[in-house]
Structure 1
Amino acid sequence: MDTVAITGHGSYLPRHMLSNAELPPFDQPLSDDEMERIGVHRRGWADDTEGIAEMAAMAGQRALERAGLEADAIDLLILANWTARRYIPEHAPRVLRLLGAKRAFGWDISCACAGFLYGLGTAHGFLQNPRWSRALVIASEHTSRRGRPGSKAKLILGDAAGAFVLERKEGTSGRLIDFELATDGAHHEIMDISPESWVRTHIQQKELNALAGGSMCAVAQRVLDRSGVALDDVDWIIPHSGTAGVQATVVRELGAAPEKILANFDSIGNVSSASIPTVVDQFVRAGTIRPGDLILSAAVGTGWYAAAALYSVGAG
Structure 2
Amino acid sequence: MYKTRIAGVGSYIPEGRLTNHDLEQMVETSDDWIVTRTGISARSIAAPDQYTSDLAFLAAQRALADAGLTAEDLDMILVGTETPDHPFPSVACQLQHRLGCRAISAVDLHVTCVGFLSALETADAFIRSGKCRHILVVGADNLSRITDYTDRTTCILFSDGAGAFVVSQTADPSHPGILHTATHANGEHYFSLYQERGGSIKMDGRKIFKLAVTAMTETTKQTLEATGKTIADIDWLIPHQANQRIIDAVAEHCEVPNEKVISTIKYLGNNSSATIPIAFDLARQDGRIKRGDTLLLTAFGGGLVWGSALLQF
CA distance in 2, matches of 1:145, 1:25: 19
Q: Please state how far the C-alpha of 1:26 moved relative to its aligned partner.
A: 3.1
1:24-173 → structure 2 map (5 Å cutoff): 25-30=25-30, 32-37=31-36, 38-84=38-84, 86-152=86-152, 153-170=154-171
Report what 1:4 is aligned to.
Answer: 4
SS of 2:155 mapped into structure 1: helix
State yes or no: 1:217 paired with 2:198.
no
Check the 8 A contact 1:214/1:253 in 2, yes or no.
no
Report what 2:270 is aligned to.
Answer: 270
Check the 8 A contact 1:92/1:107 in 2, yes or no.
yes
CA distance in 2, matches of 1:29, 1:281: 32
State yes or no: 1:19 paired with 2:19.
yes
Q: Please state how far the C-alpha of 1:24 moved relative to its aligned partner.
A: 6.9
Tell which deviates more after alignment, 89-98 or 33-42: 33-42
Q: Please state how far the C-alpha of 1:111 moved relative to its aligned partner.
A: 0.6
CA distance in 1, matches of 2:210, 2:131: 43
Q: If the length of structure 2 is used for normalisation, what is the TM-score?
A: 0.93
Q: Which whole-Å deviations, capped at 9, do the CAs of 1:239-262 have from their partners, x for residues lacking one? A: 001112211221222122111110
Cα 1:98/1:85, change in 2 over 3 Å: closer
Check the 8 A contact 2:74/2:134 in 1, yes or no.
yes
Tell which deviates more after alignment, 223-232 or 77-86: 77-86
CA distance in 2, matches of 1:219, 1:14: 31
Q: Please state how far the C-alpha of 1:278 moved relative to its aligned partner.
A: 0.0
1:225-264 → structure 2 map (5 Å cutoff): 225-264=225-264
SS of 2:191 mapped into structure 1: coil
Check the 8 A contact 1:114/1:307 in 2, yes or no.
yes
SS of 2:128 mapped into structure 1: coil
Q: Please state how far the C-alpha of 1:128 moved relative to its aligned partner.
A: 2.2
Structure 1 gaps, min length 5: none
Q: Please state how far the C-alpha of 1:83 moved relative to its aligned partner.
A: 2.7
Q: Which whole-Å deviations, capped at 9, do the CAs of 1:178-212 have from their partners, x for residues lacking one? A: 111111122223222224621112x3x33321110
Cα 1:102/1:48, change in 2 over 3 Å: farther
Q: Please state how far the C-alpha of 1:29 moved relative to its aligned partner.
A: 3.5
Of the candidates 171, 191, 194, which is equivalent to residue 192 of structure 1?
A: 194
CA distance in 1, matches of 2:184, 2:65: 32
Check the 8 A contact 1:157/1:269 in 2, yes or no.
yes
Q: Please state how far the C-alpha of 1:91 moved relative to its aligned partner.
A: 1.5
Q: Please state how far the C-alpha of 1:293 moved relative to its aligned partner.
A: 0.7
CA distance in 1, matches of 2:176, 2:159: 28
Cα 1:260/1:229, change in 2 over 3 Å: same
CA distance in 2, matches of 1:106, 1:174: 26
Q: Please state how far the C-alpha of 1:56 moved relative to its aligned partner.
A: 0.6
Q: If the length of structure 1 is used for normalisation, what is the TM-score?
A: 0.93
CA distance in 2, matches of 1:225, 1:35: 36
CA distance in 1, matches of 2:184, 2:197: 28
CA distance in 2, matches of 1:7, 1:48: 33
When the two chains are superposed, the root-mean-square deviation of aligned CA atoms in Å is 1.8
Tell which deviates more after alignment, 115-124 or 77-86: 77-86
CA distance in 1, matches of 2:138, 2:184: 20
Cα 1:56/1:174, change in 2 over 3 Å: farther
Structure 2 gaps, min length 5: none
Q: How many equivalent pairs are there? A: 310
CA distance in 2, matches of 1:267, 1:29: 18
CA distance in 2, matches of 1:174, 1:68: 17
CA distance in 2, matches of 1:282, 1:104: 29
Q: Percent sequence identity over matched residues? A: 27
